[in-house]
């Protein structure tokens, strides 16, 4: 069997490729694993007996399922709500802080407050008590401009020593930046939000502003705040303070809780797991959801650490939800479902008997068809299946069998070719364009200077045979010593990479993209290298038949194998286009048909001239494949994927009619026809060709790219609608 042939207008010899092990395509596995029991109950009877069994077990099963589902939904509801808790708590705390900072900003701007710092300590303390009462604050503070505590509302001047708070973050911020600050503090066993604002005297616009001190106030996280947070989160809330000294084990006390929380039992429940306390109070991380028993009730708990301005864990906000309360509504639903279920079961047996027969019938027919296909009968009649999933399955199975039929006929065609010697009288007669388009002087020099048979090239590749030569270089069958497998090695002409061109970088970019393509209908590209002054490309190697050889020996291909070739070609080209590559040289020489019916596209991304254009003049010769050029390629315009769709149209025209749409004695004449002449109707050359296929081919051959199919994937989808 041939591994490479030259078309009368080919630009380079095709790369010969090798199949991967088992690469017989997605359809080759068939349905060999299908089994249909020769004995046993029919599917219709099984439906009936299943319904009878349901009568016995459904009641208990319904209770179990309803209970499980209710618990599952309740659990998800609880956990979904608890996952929102940290955000709700942060939102609530931010709101308190903003409100308190705004209030203190107003207090700091009062003239009386600006003057109070020059008053006796007793007067300052009285003012602090008044402000605490007015603001409904737990504590009101006065600090001088050095950060020393002047007075606080909850302690007399005698009880409170004058000490510096200069290093406390929420006091230092207004002292340093003259802006408000907020933080969380612990006052005894009570957690509180504290805010501070600078007191500035003088006129800032005149540059006379001066800091005279800082005022601050704390709002306790008490029962009222717990109820507000409960309304926001939908769960019971407790504020827990860690009253232990620094470095000591956590000592938890409930500062405030909602009425139904059961706070007395919360602390023992939390202490039951030391890892929870360590994560919450030592690491300052959220804990939960946790399953705890609080006051004899099963609850799901989420705990959020409350951190000071310095990051120290002062306590936690604990939110819990009762499982019993969450599942109450679901229990009622479960009871209703049970009553409805009993009624449904009364009529389920006769209905199941009728439906079982209706559903089982097409499935039984499909199963019988699968066995027939497994045994090699691809002409078995399959049921339509009607609508719905069974119909979808039937149509998918029918399409699969259709693909297998086409592939079988393609394999038979290839087997017949192997049995018969080549017919020397068949094929496309050479024209005057042949020598110009096929072998350039550069290609001849590349062949002469390439690796020799029996030698080792690049210290890695043992040269076994020459597979073909063309304008871009020569192709060899080599053994890759490192991979211990045979690959195809294409040595490129030195003239194709003249100094000063962008071809080397362009080709490297093409190879980087091509190496990403792993598709059964695309030849795998391995690497691009250089040795002995020659640049070379390695690809997978598979002995096979080019579509050119098939057409030369057989002429027009029958509809079924032709469709199989066309669809595989489209699948391969789709993978190439999705990798960002335009093939630029789709032609029968670059399409391999393996003995197992797999079609592979090769030489993508490299069939181009040295300067990266799609056709040019080289030493007075036309480079390219004129019979397979798109109009825009013949005119030297920019190309996109739709150019490849045009050349697919040319290939399909030749595949189904046995001749190309445009013929001529000179390359220029053929290229001119691609640009301006209308192709003949394929049906005029082959009357039995389906009209829809003819329209597809002519759509691909549209002169304007925007009138062709949008992509190879769209063309493939259209081809699948044709039944051979």
Q: At residue 657, does pLDDT exceed 50?
A: yes
Contacts of 697 (CB under 8 A, 6+ apart): 649, 652, 653, 656, 682
Supply angle C-alpha 117, 122, 125, rounded to 5.
Answer: 70
Spatial neighbors of 365 by CB under 8 A, at least 6 apart, are: 382, 383
Which residues are identified as catalytic? 585
Assigned token pair, 127: 């003012």
Exposure string of 183-216, with b = 16+ CB inside 10 Å and e = fewer, is bbbbeebbbbbbbbbbbbeeeeeeeeeebbbbbb
% of the chain surpassing 90 pLDDT = 29
For residues 492 and 473, what is the distance between their CA atoms, to the nearest angstrom? 4
- What CA–CA distance (Å, rounded) separates 120 from 269? 50
Range of lowest pLDDT (248-252, 518-522, 572-576): 248-252
Stretch 128-137: mean pLDDT = 90
Q: Which residues lie across from 91 on neighbouring strands?
A: none
Helix/strand/coil percent split, the chain, to 5? 45, 20, 35
Measured CA to CA in angstroms, residue 231 lies from 227, 315, 605 at distances of: 6, 21, 66
pLDDT at 617 > cutoff 50: no
pLDDT given for residue 422 in this prediction? 58
Determine contact, residues 655/557, Cβ cutoff 8 Å.
yes
* pLDDT band, residue 562 (cuts 50/70/90): very high
- pLDDT category at 430 given cuts 50, 70, 90 is very low
Say which CATH superfamily domain 434-719 falls into: Transferase(Phosphotransferase) domain 1 (1.10.510.10)
Q: Does the pLDDT at position 397 exceed 70?
A: no
Q: Which residue, 688, 686, 682, is CA-closest to 700?
A: 682
Cα–Cα distance between 89 and 95 in angstroms, integer? Answer: 10
Mean pLDDT within 650-663: 96
> 90-220 in CATH: which number?
3.30.450.20
Q: pLDDT grade, residue 159 (50/70/90)?
A: low
Q: Is the pLDDT of residue 273 over 50?
A: yes
Residue 572 corresponds to which tokens in the numbers above? 């391969």
Tens digits of residue pLDDT in 523-552 = 998 888 888 888 898 998 988 889 999 999
What is the pLDDT, as a whole number, of residue 109? 87
Residue 589 or residue 352, greater confidence: 589
* Contact (CB, 8 A) for 711 and 574: yes
Q: Which of 194, 145, 151 is nearest to 169 (CA)?
A: 194
Distance, CA of 440 to CA of 603 (rounded, Å): 18
Structure pTM? Answer: 0.50
Residue 721: its pLDDT value, please? 92
Cα angle 115, 116, 121 (rounded to 5 degrees) comes to 150
Q: Within 13 Å and on the Cβ side, how many CA atoms surround 306?
A: 27
The pLDDT assigned to 20 comes to: 38
294/290 Cα distance (integer angstroms) = 12
221 Rama class: left (phi>0) / alpha (psi -120 to 50) / beta: beta
Of 177, 292, 311, 301, the closest CA to residue 237 belongs to: 301
CB neighbour list of residue 468: distance below 8 Å, 6 or more residues apart: 3, 4, 5, 6, 13, 14, 16, 474, 475
Query: What is the average per-residue pLDDT within 163-192?
Result: 90
Selection from 16, 178, 7 nearest residue 108 by Cα: 178
d(CA 229, CA 69): 30
Residue of higher predicted confidence among 20 and 719:
719
d(CA 611, CA 605): 13
Q: What is the mean pLDDT of residues 84-107?
A: 89
> SS3 for 451-468, per residue?
CCCCCEECCCEEEEEEEE
Q: Give the pair of three-digit tokens for residue 436.
A: 């110009």
The separation between CA 344 and the C-alpha centre of its own chain, rounded to angstroms, equals: 43
Highest mean pLDDT among 15-24, 71-80, 141-150, 308-317: 141-150
Phi and psi dihedrals of 630, rounded to 5? -75, 160
pLDDT computed for residue 33 by the predictor: 38
Between residues 556 and 300, the one the model is more confident about? 556
Peptide bond into 160 cis (omega under 30): no
Q: Do domains 90-220 and 434-719 have the same CATH topology?
A: no
What tokens does 560 get?
A: 């079924």
Q: Using CA of residue 154, residue 156, residue 159, residue 160, what is the dihedral sign?
A: positive
In whole angstroms, how far apart are CA 71 and each of 60, 77, 80, 234, 323? 17, 10, 14, 18, 8
- pLDDT over 50 at 442, yes or no: no
Predicted confidence band of residue 42 (pLDDT cuts 50, 70, 90): low
Rounded to whole angstroms, the Cα distance separating 324 from 247 reads 39
Per-residue pLDDT, 544: 83
Q: For the sheet with 236-242, list strands across it.
A: 252-257, 236-242, 313-322, 297-307, 287-294
DSSP string covering 222-287: -HHHHHHHHHHHSSEEEEEEE-SPTTSPP-EEEEEE-TTS-HHHHHHHHHT-HHHHIIIIIS---E
Are 23 and 541 within 8 A, CB to CB?
A: no
Question: Residue 140: is its pLDDT beyond 70?
Answer: yes
Q: Reduce the DSSP state of residue 490 to 3 states and report it.
A: strand
Give the residue-averaged pLDDT of 199-214. 84
Summarize the confidence of residues 215-235 as an average pLDDT.
Answer: 89
**pLDDT band (50, 70, 90) for residue 86:** confident
Which residues, at least 6 apart from 624, have a Cβ–Cβ distance to it below 8 Å?
Answer: 11, 437, 585, 609, 614, 615, 633, 667
Q: Quick check: 71 pLDDT over 50?
A: yes
Residue 327, judged by CB atoms within 10 A of its CB (0-12, 13-18, 19+), counts as: buried
pLDDT confidence band for 698 (50 / 70 / 90):
very high
Highest mean pLDDT out of 8-22, 230-244, 678-692:
678-692
| Residue 68: band (very low, low, confident or very high) from pLDDT cuts 50, 70, 90 | confident
pLDDT band per the 50, 70, 90 thresholds, residue 622: very low
Q: Calculate ∠ Cα 472-473-477, nearest 5°.
A: 130
Confidence of residue 6 (pLDDT cuts 50, 70, 90): very low
> Do strands 297-307 and 461-470 pair parallel, antiparallel, or not at all (unpaired)?
unpaired
- pLDDT higher than 60, residue 148: yes
What are the residue boundaries of the structural domains of the chain, listed by start?
90-220, 434-719
pLDDT at 400: 76
453 alpha-carbon distance from chain centroid: 47
Predicted local confidence at residue 555, as pLDDT: 92
403, pLDDT greater than 80: no
| CA R_g for the chain | 42
Mean per-residue pLDDT, 464-485: 86
Q: How confident is the model at residue 679 (pLDDT cuts 50, 70, 90)?
A: very high
Q: What is the mean pLDDT of residues 486-498?
A: 78
- Residue 432's pLDDT band, with cuts at 50, 70 and 90, is very low
- Whether 445 and 493 have beta carbons less than 8 Å apart is answered as yes
Residue 114 DSSP SS3: helix
3-state secondary structure of 545: strand
The token pair at 266 is 């919360």
Residue 66 reports pLDDT greater than 80: no
* DSSP symbol at 155: B
| Average pLDDT score over residue span 708-721 | 95
The set of residues, in sequence order, having a beta carbon less than 8 Å from that of 42 and lying 6+ positions away, is: 360, 364
What's the pLDDT score for residue 28? 34
d(CA 168, CA 178): 15
Asked which of 55-64, 605-614, 631-640 is least confident by mean pLDDT, the reply is: 605-614
pLDDT range class, residue 508, cuts 50, 70, 90: confident
Mean pLDDT over each residue of the chain, to the nearest integer: 78
């Amino acid at each position: 069997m041939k591994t490479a042939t030259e078309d009368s207008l080919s630009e380079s010899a095709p790369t010969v490729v090798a199949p991967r092990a088992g690469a017989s395509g997605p359809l080759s596995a068939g349905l060999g694993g299908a089994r249909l029991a020769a004995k046993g109950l029919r599917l219709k009877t099984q439906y009936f007996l299943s319904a009878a069994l349901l009568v016995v077990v459904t009641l208990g099963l319904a209770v179990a399922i309803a209970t499980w589902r209710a618990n599952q939904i309740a659990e998800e509801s609880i956990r979904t709500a608890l996952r929102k808790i940290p955000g709700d708590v942060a939102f609530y705390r931010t709101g308190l802080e903003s409100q308190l900072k705004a209030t203190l900003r107003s207090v700091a701007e009062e003239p009386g407050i600006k003057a109070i710092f020059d008053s006796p300590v007793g007067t300052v303390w009285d003012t602090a008590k008044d402000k605490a009462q007015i603001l409904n604050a737990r504590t009101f503070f006065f600090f001088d401009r050095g950060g020393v505590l002047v007075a606080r509302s909850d302690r007399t001047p005698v009880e409170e020593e004058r000490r510096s708070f200069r290093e406390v973050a929420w006091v230092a911020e207004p002292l340093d930046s003259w802006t408000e600050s907020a933080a969380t503090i612990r006052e005894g066993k009570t957690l509180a939000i504290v805010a501070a604002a600078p007191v500035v005297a003088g006129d800032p616009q005149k540059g006379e502003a001066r800091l005279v001190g800082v005022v601050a106030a704390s709002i306790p996280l008490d029962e009222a705040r717990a109820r507000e947070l409960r309304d926001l989160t939908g769960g019971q809330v407790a504020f827990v303070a860690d009253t232990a000294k620094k470095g000591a084990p956590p000592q938890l006390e409930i500062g405030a809780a909602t009425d139904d929380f059961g706070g007395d039992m919360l602390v023992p429940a939390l202490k039951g797991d030391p890892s929870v306390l360590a994560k919450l109070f030592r690491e300052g991380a959220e804990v939960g959801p946790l399953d705890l028993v609080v006051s004899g009730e099963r609850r799901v708990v989420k705990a959020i650490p409350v951190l000071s301005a310095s990051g120290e864990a002062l306590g936690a906000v604990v939110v819990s939800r009762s499982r019993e309360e969450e599942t109450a509504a679901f229990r009622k639903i479960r009871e209703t479902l049970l009553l409805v279920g009993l009624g449904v079961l009364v009529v389920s047996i006769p209905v199941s008997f009728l439906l079982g027969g209706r559903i089982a019938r097409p499935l039984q027919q499909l199963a019988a068809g699968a066995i027939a296909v497994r045994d090699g009968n691809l002409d078995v009649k399959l049921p339509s299946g009607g609508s719905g999933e069974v119909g979808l399955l039937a149509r998918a199975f029918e399409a699969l069998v259709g693909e297998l039929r086409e592939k079988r006929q393609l394999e038979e065609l290839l087997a017949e070719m192997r049995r018969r010697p080549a017919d020397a009288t068949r094929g496309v007669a050479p024209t005057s364009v042949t020598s110009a388009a096929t072998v350039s002087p550069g290609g001849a020099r590349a062949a002469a200077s390439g690796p020799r048979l029996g030698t080792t090239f690049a210290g890695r590749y043992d040269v076994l045979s020459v597979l073909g030569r063309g304008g871009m270089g020569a192709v060899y069958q080599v053994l890759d010593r490192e991979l211990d497998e045979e690959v195809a090695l294409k040595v490129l002409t030195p003239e194709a990479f003249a100094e000063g061109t962008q071809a080397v970088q362009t080709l490297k970019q093409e190879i980087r993209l091509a190496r990403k393509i792993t598709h059964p209908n695309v030849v795998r590209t391995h690497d691009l290298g250089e040795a002995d002054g020659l640049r070379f490309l390695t690809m997978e190697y598979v002995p096979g038949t080019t579509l050119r050889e098939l057409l030369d020996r057989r002429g027009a291909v029958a509809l079924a194998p032709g469709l199989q070739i066309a669809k595989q070609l489209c699948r391969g080209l789709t993978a190439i286009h999705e990798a960002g590559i335009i093939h630029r040289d789709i032609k029968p020489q670059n399409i391999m048909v393996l003995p197992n019916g797999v079609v592979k596209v090769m030489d993508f991304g490299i069939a181009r001239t040295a300067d990266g254009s799609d056709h040019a003049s080289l030493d007075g010769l036309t480079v390219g494949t004129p019979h397979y050029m798109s109009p825009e390629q013949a005119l030297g315009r920019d190309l996109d994927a739709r150019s490849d769709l045009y050349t697919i149209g040319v290939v399909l025209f030749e595949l189904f009619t046995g001749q190309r749409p445009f013929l001529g004695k000179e390359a220029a004449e053929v290229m001119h026809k691609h640009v301006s002449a209308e192709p003949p109707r394929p049906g005029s050359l082959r009357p039995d060709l389906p009209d829809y296929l003819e329209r597809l081919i002519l759509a691909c051959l549209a002169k304007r790219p925007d009138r062709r199919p949008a992509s190879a994937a769209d063309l493939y989808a259209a081809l699948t609608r044709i039944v051979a």
